[in-house]
C-alpha cells in the first residue's frame, strides 16, 4: 500500500488483471488503450488480433501489443493445472 490515507492502492494510469484460459478454450480481451502487455505465468498457446496477427506464447514470455481497435483472442493449448494464466496490463482510462 502507498500509505496514503483515504486513497486506493493502485496506479491512476494502469490496469492490471489476471486472465485464465482453460486448455482448448478461447477468451477475448479488449482494452481502449495505447498498449497492452501480457506476461505468461503458466501455459502455452496463442493470442491473435486483426491488426497484429498471431502471437505464440509459453510460460515466462512477455509480449506487448500496440493500439488494438478490436479484441485479442487468447487460446490455451497446454498448461499445468488445467489452464494458462496471463497477467494483463494496459493503460485504458
Task: Give the model confidence (pLDDT) of 44-85 as tens digits.
Answer: 999 999 999 999 999 999 999 998 999 999 999 999 888 999
pLDDT band at 33 (very low <50, low <70, confident <90, very high): confident
pLDDT at residue 61 in the model? 98
Sole residue written with cell 501480457: 38
pLDDT band at 12 (very low <50, low <70, confident <90, very high): low
Amino acid at each position: 500500500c502507498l500509505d496514503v490515507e483515504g486513497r486506493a492502492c493502485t496506479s491512476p494510469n494502469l490496469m492490471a488483471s489476471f486472465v485464465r484460459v482453460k486448455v482448448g478454450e478461447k477468451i477475448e480481451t479488449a482494452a481502449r488503450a495505447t498498449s497492452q502487455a501480457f506476461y505468461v505465468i503458466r501455459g502455452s498457446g496463442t493470442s491473435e488480433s486483426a491488426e497484429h496477427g498471431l502471437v505464440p506464447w509459453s510460460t515466462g514470455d512477455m509480449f506487448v501489443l500496440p493500439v488494438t481497435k478490436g479484441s485479442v483472442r487468447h487460446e490455451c493449448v497446454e498448461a499445468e493445472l488445467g489452464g494458462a494464466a496471463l497477467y494483463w496490463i494496459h493503460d485504458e482510462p
